[in-house]
């Protein structure tokens, strides 16, 4: 394709957006609205995933030894934990440390601990894995070691968190699909008006031998312009809204002491990815809308 031809197509694509300005604005507005709603769902998924992964990382496996476990058995369990490649970090809690923790917990009700000595308690190991999905297999192996009385890990909580995330992902895909269908339909109608207004010019171009794609490309470029413009404006609006929510939630999470549970991801960490996603979706919506309109309403 010659450079002069490409310039003509791009020029015509921009000109088409001005010829039907009201419908162009309606299409851009639809793209903006669709992407903002999609962006809300996307941000929810990103932050749910981020916070769920943070909660997963905070989950620990607690291995309790038998109160009468021998020193050899305790050392063997610790050696197994220390040398396991799946283990990220672990902490050994001695009987004395466990007793001190109980005293701190029941500081105002110390009568509950009357008669209790460290000898009645068990040594334990608090373990964080590199991948919490391996918790079940790791727990099963550790529980079979001599001297181990019990192994606790929040399997049900982990399962529920993963289920919630899966439902959110599925729901977002359904919403996105519906929004894409509506947006493509409106963009196709916008291009259809341009095609109808220029039908005689198109007939003359066909008569003198213009190829189908020579006629199609200006309309496709028009759709791309509509989609990209909508994506750019949607990203600017989404960024402003997201920054406001991020500042509000994170500051209040710190104020109420729940920052370990809830934290909004900084826009700086995901902004580039969000813009690329917006741009791709916007351009794809515009292109598909144009192709549908030209194919159905041009006899080329």
- Read off the pTM: 0.69
71 plus 213 within the same structural domain: no
In this structure, the answer to whether residues 43 and 70 fall within a common structural domain is no
Whether residue 168 is found in the same domain as residue 23: yes
- Pair 131, 258 in one domain: no
Check whether residue 146 and residue 290 sit in a common domain.
no
Closest residue by Cα to residue 228 from 22, 7, 28, 90: 28
In this structure, the answer to whether residues 282 and 187 fall within a common structural domain is: yes
Whether the predicted pLDDT of 107 surpasses 70: no
**Contacts for 267 with CB less than 8 Å, ≥ 6 apart:** 239, 242, 243, 246, 274
The predicted-structure confidence for 39-68, as pLDDT tens digits, reads as follows 887 888 888 878 877 877 777 888 988 888
Residues 169 and 256 in one domain: yes
Summarize pLDDT for 73-97 with one digit per residue, the tens. 889 999 999 999 998 889 988 888 8
Domain stop point among 136, 153, 170: 153
Distance CA 221, CA 287 (A): 7
Same structural domain, 18 and 45: yes
- Number of separate domains in the chain: 2
**Can you give the pLDDT at residue 109?**
63
pLDDT in the model for residue 136: 82
Asked if 158 and 53 count as a contact pair (C-beta separation under 8 A), the reply is no
Indicate the DSSP class of residue 68: T
Assign 299 a pLDDT band (cuts: 50, 70, 90): low
**Residues linked to residue 61 through DSSP beta bridges, in sequence order:** 127
> Do residues 148 and 278 both lie within one domain?
no
Looking at the fold, whether 148 and 178 belong to one and the same domain comes out as no
CA-wise closest residue to 270 among 243, 232, 251: 243
pLDDT band at 194 (very low <50, low <70, confident <90, very high): low
pLDDT digits (tens, 9 = 90+) for 228-282: 998 999 999 999 999 998 888 888 888 777 777 788 888 888 888 889 988 988 8
- Domain housing 81: 60-153
């Amino acid at each position: 394709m010659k450079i002069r031809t490409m310039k003509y197509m791009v020029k015509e694509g921009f000109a088409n957006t001005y010829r039907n300005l009201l419908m162009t604005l309606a299409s851009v507005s639809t793209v903006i609205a669709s992407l903002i709603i999609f962006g809300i769902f996307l941000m929810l998924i990103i932050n749910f995933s981020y916070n769920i992964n943070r909660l997963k990382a905070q989950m620990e496996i607690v291995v309790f030894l038998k109160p009468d476990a021998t020193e050899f058995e305790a050392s063997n369990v610790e050696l197994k934990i220390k040398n396991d490649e799946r283990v990220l970090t672990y902490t050994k809690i001695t009987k004395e440390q466990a007793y001190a923790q109980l005293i701190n917990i029941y500081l105002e009700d110390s009568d509950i601990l009357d008669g209790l000595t460290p000898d009645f308690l068990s040594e334990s190991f608090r373990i964080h894995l590199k991948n919490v999905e391996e918790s079940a297999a790791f727990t099963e192996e550790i529980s079979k070691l001599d001297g181990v009385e019990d192994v606790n890990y929040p399997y049900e909580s982990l399962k529920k968190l993963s289920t919630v995330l899966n439902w959110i992902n599925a729901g977002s895909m359904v919403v996105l699909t519906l929004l894409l269908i509506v947006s493509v339909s409106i963009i196709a109608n916008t291009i259809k008006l341009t095609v109808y207004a220029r039908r005689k010019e198109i007939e003359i171009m066909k008569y003198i031998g213009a190829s189908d794609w020579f006629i199609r490309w200006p309309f496709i470029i028009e759709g791309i312009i509509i989609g990209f413009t909508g994506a750019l404006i949607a990203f600017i609006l989404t960024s402003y809204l997201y920054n406001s929510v991020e500042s509000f939630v994170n500051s209040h999470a710190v104020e109420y002491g729940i920052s370990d549970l809830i934290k909004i991801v900084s826009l700086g960490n995901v902004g580039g990815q969000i813009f690329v996603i917006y741009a791709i979706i916007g351009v794809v919506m515009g292109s598909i809308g144009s192709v549908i309109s030209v194919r159905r309403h041009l006899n080329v």
